[in-house]
Chain A
Amino acid sequence: GAGVSQSPSNKVTEKGKDVELRCDPISGHTALYWYRQSLGQGLEFLIYFQGNSAPDKSGLPSDRFSAERTGGSVSTLTIQRTQQEDSAVYLCASKSLAWETQYFGPGTRLLVL
């Protein structure tokens, strides 16, 4: 089956614009995670969805960031009023209930000018 997919692969936007990043997890995976990797940094947790439970939003850096997961599958990460410091690679991962391993998508490279 297909792995985790993300779109777009690259996004260039102007400061102050809103952006939406999409993640399609592996079919059947109940858990979905968003991370980001800023230049020269490690991967930083943003938000986590598990089934119908309330998401863990503890990693979101500001209230400009939000995420949804519709129908327990596809997720959208929205960044409002983008700032230059939001420039990073945004990575999505999914995991099945039975196993601990998270599988990552290729990421969306966001550049805010």
Chain B
Amino acid sequence: DQQVKQNSPSLSVQEGRISILNCDYTNSMFDYFLWYKKYPAEGPTFLISISSIKDKNEDGRFTVFLNKSAKHLSLHIVPSQPGDSAVYFCAASASAGGTSYGKLTFGQGTILTVHP
């Protein structure tokens, strides 16, 4: 039972264009969502997050959109750069519920390749 899904295993984008990475979730208790970027042989690096009380959060080239009714979030990268090439993970947590507070549930990841 995968509660967080990234249905696109890979995405290829031209430098300068927009990259859109998508994520769907099933657990309505999730109220905090994060995107991490991961290079090979390194740990995940935090990119951007959003609370369920918002529908958009922007940080430089990165914007995360949350559609609670659809249980869907997306990460937009504009403009895309070759250095953005990495695996992107979407993650979710629920703030309520005993000792599981803050535990992250991850999607399977999307490999983004930005071509020069």
Interface residues of A, Cβ cutoff 8 Å to B: 4, 6, 31, 33, 35, 41-45, 48, 50, 53-56, 58-59, 91, 93, 95, 100-107, 109
Contact = CB atoms under 8 A, between A and B. Distances in A.
B42 A106 contact: yes
Majority secondary structure, B binding face: mixed
A33 B44 contact: no
A44 B89 CA distance: 12
B46 to A, nearest CB: 5
A6 B105 CA distance: 21
Interface in B97-116: 98-109
A78 B49 CA distance: 31
B89 A95 contact: no
B102 A100 contact: yes
A43 B34 CA distance: 13
A56 B102 CA distance: 11
A54 B42 CA distance: 30
B45 interface: yes
Given A50-B101, A56-B103, A104 B43 contact: yes
A45 B46 contact: no
Nearest to B109: A42
A40 to B, nearest CB: 9
Contacts of B91: 43
Considering residues A4, A50, A100, A104, which has the most beta carbons from chain B within 10 angstroms of its beta carbon? A100
B64 to A, nearest CB: 13
Nearest to B32: A100
Contact of B43 (A53, A56, A105): A105
A42 B104 CA distance: 11
Contacts of A50: 99, 101-102
B102 A35 contact: no
Contact of B108 (A4, A42, A91, A101): A42
Interface string B22-34: 0000000000101
A41 B108 CA distance: 6
Contacts of B32: 100
A70 to B, nearest CB: 19
Nearest to A58: B100
